[in-house]
């Protein structure tokens, strides 16, 4: 009985505690927040005294921009950050992601190219390590185009020591690109080109039999050979009847250097020509849909540039890249299924004077000039010097380009 009498007050106290009203929602939330903040303070995530408050002292310290999560996922602010600081942080994060994407893409491509160079990819064309460069400019030319080449050497292509200096000091490589004649043992055309090369030393010779209908193959081999020879940011292909300002080209491409997989040129979408016998006839026209359809967007063939990783992609996969009749369409097809940034740069397809001359006077010097009607400069041997005088950037411009 005595034991029961002693336990009765304890039971009554317990019932009284259970009978009390539960804590209100506000009290629970406040308790959660207080517990969370105490945990942050004890774990060192949030300093007891903010750095800004320690500097100014008292109540005038800057507010600390920390958000904490309360019960139920609701968020409360311990302080507020300046909007500009948040925008700057977002911008820096975006730039960091872009740089990381570029770095990863570059490393992947460099690894694949090194495997190819060592023989693992079946595309090894050089045994020496590639030379560092900013831009490699390959001028597509033919055996019968000696006068065209000389017209460029007299205008925008440097000669001799100036060509070497441009390469070593500015990282700009300029070469005339050509293969061989296909004649057994080397014919008269090959011997004439050998003599010209010994004199000028401005050629990139390809293991390729020249022919107008082999331009797509020549383009593949050009990029493969260029990637194996030079480690450049960009690789450019230009025809030998186009006027080019080297300084403007270099400065325009430099704007895209931090971006991965860039394809620069004057983008177009011309008709697919199914009729036999016409210029630019497409034998595989049926692959582009019904009659009257147009090609996908691609850079016009007179001049275009691709970034290092895209050139490496072509080098690695060149044995299985399909060739269409037109070289510029082939390049566009090789890149259309990739994550590529197409840059439509209209300064790379200015018309000849007076168009490019007016733009130069207005302060907008063109990268390249040619006549659409001729798919290049009409009568380029006779007119190249005049175009260079009217539309050229000036002899010293390329040396002042920030690389």
What local confidence, expressed as pLDDT, does residue 403 receive? 65
Contact present, 369 and 387 (Cβ < 8 Å): yes
What local confidence, expressed as pLDDT, does residue 90 receive? 82
Query: Which residues in the chain come in under a pLDDT of 70?
Result: 1-81, 102, 105-106, 108-110, 112-127, 403
Report the alpha-carbon distance of residue 348 to residue 35 in Å, rounded.
Answer: 64
What local confidence, expressed as pLDDT, does residue 280 receive? 84
What local confidence, expressed as pLDDT, does residue 5 receive? 45
What local confidence, expressed as pLDDT, does residue 93 receive? 86
What local confidence, expressed as pLDDT, does residue 137 receive? 98
What local confidence, expressed as pLDDT, does residue 193 receive? 96
Q: CA of 6: how far to CAs of 14, 19, 197, in Å?
A: 14, 21, 116
Run of H or E including 93: helix 83-117
Contact present, 139 and 218 (Cβ < 8 Å): no
Report the alpha-carbon distance of residue 385 to residue 141 in Å, rounded.
Answer: 18
What local confidence, expressed as pLDDT, does residue 180 receive? 94
What local confidence, expressed as pLDDT, does residue 88 receive? 81
What local confidence, expressed as pLDDT, does residue 76 receive? 45
Contact present, 240 and 153 (Cβ < 8 Å): no
Q: Kindly report whether the peptide bond that precedes residue 60 is cis, defined as omega within 30 degrees of 0.
A: no
What local confidence, expressed as pLDDT, does residue 96 receive? 83
DSSP string, 178-216: EEE---TT--HHHHHHHHHHHHH--EEEEEEE--GGGHH
What local confidence, expressed as pLDDT, does residue 107 receive? 72
DSSP string, 110-161: HHHHHHHHTTSSS----SSPPEE-SEEEEEE--TT-HHHHHHHHTTTS--HH
Q: What is the pTM of this model?
A: 0.72
What local confidence, expressed as pLDDT, does residue 121 receive? 41
Contact present, 377 and 241 (Cβ < 8 Å): yes
Report the alpha-carbon distance of residue 65 to residue 54 in Å, rounded.
Answer: 16
What local confidence, expressed as pLDDT, does residue 378 receive? 98
Residues sharing a CB contact under 8 Å with residue 264, sequence separation 6 or more, in sequence order = 234, 252, 253, 256, 299, 304, 305, 306, 343, 345, 348
Domains of the chain: 131-267+299-399 (3.90.550.10)
């Amino acid at each position: 009985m005595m034991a029961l009498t002693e336990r009765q007050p304890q039971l009554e106290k317990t019932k009284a505690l259970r009978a009390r009203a539960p804590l209100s929602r506000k009290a629970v939330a406040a308790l959660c927040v207080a517990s969370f903040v105490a945990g942050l303070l004890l774990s060192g995530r949030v300093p007891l005294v903010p750095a800004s408050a320690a500097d100014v002292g008292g109540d005038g310290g800057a507010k600390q921009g920390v958000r904490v999560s309360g019960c139920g996922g609701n968020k409360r602010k311990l302080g507020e950050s300046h909007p500009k600081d948040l925008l700057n942080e977002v911008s820096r994060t975006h730039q960091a992601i872009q740089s990381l994407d570029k770095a990863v893409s570059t490393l992947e491509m460099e690894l694949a190219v090194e495997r190819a160079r060592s023989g693992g990819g079946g595309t090894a064309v050089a045994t020496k390590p590639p030379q560092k460069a900013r831009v490699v400019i390959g001028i597509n030319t033919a055996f019968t185009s000696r006068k065209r080449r000389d017209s460029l050497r007299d205008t925008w292509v440097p000669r001799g020591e100036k060509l070497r200096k441009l390469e070593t000091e500015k990282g700009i490589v300029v070469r005339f690109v050509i293969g061989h004649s296909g004649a057994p043992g080397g014919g008269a055309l090959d011997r004439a080109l050998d003599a010209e090369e010994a004199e000028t030393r401005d050629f990139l010779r390809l293991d390729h039999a020249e022919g107008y209908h082999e331009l797509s193959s020549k383009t593949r081999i050009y990029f493969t050979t260029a990637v194996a020879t030079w480690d450049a940011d960009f690789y450019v292909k230009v025809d030998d009847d186009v006027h080019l300002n080297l300084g403007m080209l270099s400065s325009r491409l430099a704007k895209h250097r931090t971006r991965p997989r860039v394809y620069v040129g004057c983008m177009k979408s011309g008709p697919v020509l199914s009729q036999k016998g016409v210029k630019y006839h497409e034998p595989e026209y049926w692959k582009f849909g019904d009659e009257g359809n147009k090609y996908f967007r691609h850079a016009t063939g007179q001049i275009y540039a691709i970034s290092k990783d895209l050139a490496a992609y072509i080098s690695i996969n060149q044995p299985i890249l399909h060739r269409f009749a037109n070289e510029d369409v082939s390049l566009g097809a090789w890149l259309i299924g990739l994550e590529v940034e197409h840059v439509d740069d209209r300064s790379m397809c200015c018309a000849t004077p007076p168009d490019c001359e007016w733009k130069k006077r207005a302060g907008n010097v063109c990268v390249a000039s040619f006549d659409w009607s001729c798919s290049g400069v009409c009568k380029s041997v006779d007119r190249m010097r005049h175009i260079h005088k009217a539309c050229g950037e000036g002899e010293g411009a390329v040396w002042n380009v920030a690389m």
